[in-house]
């Protein structure tokens, strides 16, 4: 396992369209290792998602999720499914379900210490492959739908700034904590 270097905004790999992985490639030791390293890198930086282009690999793969919390600290009875099981998704295709769009804060490991409000489809279906090369279809809404849209955007060279309706809400992390929220928004 290894912690990988995260590409920051301005690196061309973040603006490239990543290539799909072949079915046979998915189970190769190289790709399995890459997935393990991406999970480790995401945990190291306390992210909730990490797409392969962010670690300089231009392939259609992302990892996402929050490791199950131990202990019961449930004061945030905050609506949305803030919980998200760890998942690795390959060649994801997203289809919005319904027309509802919700706006919420996002951050990105490739744009450190900045937050902004981004509109996203509230509910989606994601089709793709898991790390065993098995076809999967995941229904998601709220937080996990947001994360998966953010990560899939990375595979198309799209960053969350591109999705913002206005830059008025762009905020440094310090100011975010001071003026906008008591709870942190993890980076993706
Ligand atoms: Zn990101």
Q: pLDDT, tens digit, for every residue of 95-122?
A: 999 999 999 999 999 999 999 999 999 9
Q: Which two tokens stand for residue 26?
A: 């998915």
Q: Give rounded-to-5 percent helix, strand, coil for the chain.
A: 30, 30, 40
Q: From the CA of 17, how far away is ligand 1's center (Å)?
A: 14
> Would you place residue 80 in the very low, low, confident or very high pLDDT band (cuts 50, 70, 90)?
low
Q: Range with the lowest mean pLDDT among 13-27, 38-52, 57-71, 82-96? A: 57-71
Q: From the CA of 14, how far away is ligand 1's center (Å)?
A: 9
pLDDT recorded at residue 186: 82
SS3 state of residue 40:
helix
pLDDT digits (tens, 9 = 90+) for 30-68: 999 999 999 999 999 999 999 999 999 999 999 999 876
Residue length of the chain: 188
State how far the Cα of 71 lies from the Cα of 73, in Å rounded to an integer.
Answer: 6
CA torsion 99-138-95-108 (nearest 10°) is 90
Q: From the CA of 69, how far away is ligand 1's center (Å)?
A: 23
Residue 9 near residue 159, CB atoms below 8 Å: yes
Residue 154 near residue 92, CB atoms below 8 Å: no
pLDDT digits (tens, 9 = 90+) for 176-186: 999 998 677 78
Mean of the per-residue pLDDT values for the chain? 92
0.85 exceeded by pTM: yes
Pairing relationship of beta strands 49-51 and 101-108 according to DSSP bridges: unpaired
Strands annotated E in the chain = 49-51, 61-64, 87-96, 101-108, 111-121, 123-129, 135-141, 171-172
pLDDT at 89 over 80: yes
Q: From the CA of 109, how far away is ligand 1's center (Å)?
A: 6
pLDDT at 71 over 90: no
Catalytic residues: 151
Q: Which two tokens stand for residue 144?
A: 């996990």
pLDDT recorded at residue 78: 46
């Amino acid at each position: 396992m290894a912690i990988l270097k995260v590409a920051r905004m301005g690196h061309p790999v973040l603006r490239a369209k990543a290539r799909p992985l072949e079915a046979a490639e998915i189970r190769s030791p190289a790709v399995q290792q890459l997935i393990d390293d991406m999970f480790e890198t995401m945990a190291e930086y306390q992210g909730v998602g990490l797409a392969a282009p962010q670690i300089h690999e231009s392939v259609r793969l992302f990892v996402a999720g929050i490791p199950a919390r131990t202990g019961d600290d449930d004061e945030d009875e905050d609506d949305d499914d803030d919980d998200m099981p760890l998942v690795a998704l390959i060649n994801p295709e997203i289809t919005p379900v319904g027309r509802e769009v919700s706006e919420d804060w996002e951050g990105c490991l490739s744009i450190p210490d900045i937050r902004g409000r981004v509109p996203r489809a509230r509910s989606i279906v994601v089709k793709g492959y898991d790390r065993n090369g098995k076809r999967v279809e995941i229904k998601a809404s709220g937080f996990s739908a947001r994360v998966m849209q953010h990560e899939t955007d990375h595979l198309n060279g799209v960053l969350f700034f591109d999705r913002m309706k206005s830059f008025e809400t762009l905020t440094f992390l310090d100011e975010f904590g001071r003026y906008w929220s008591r709870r942190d928004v993890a980076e993706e």
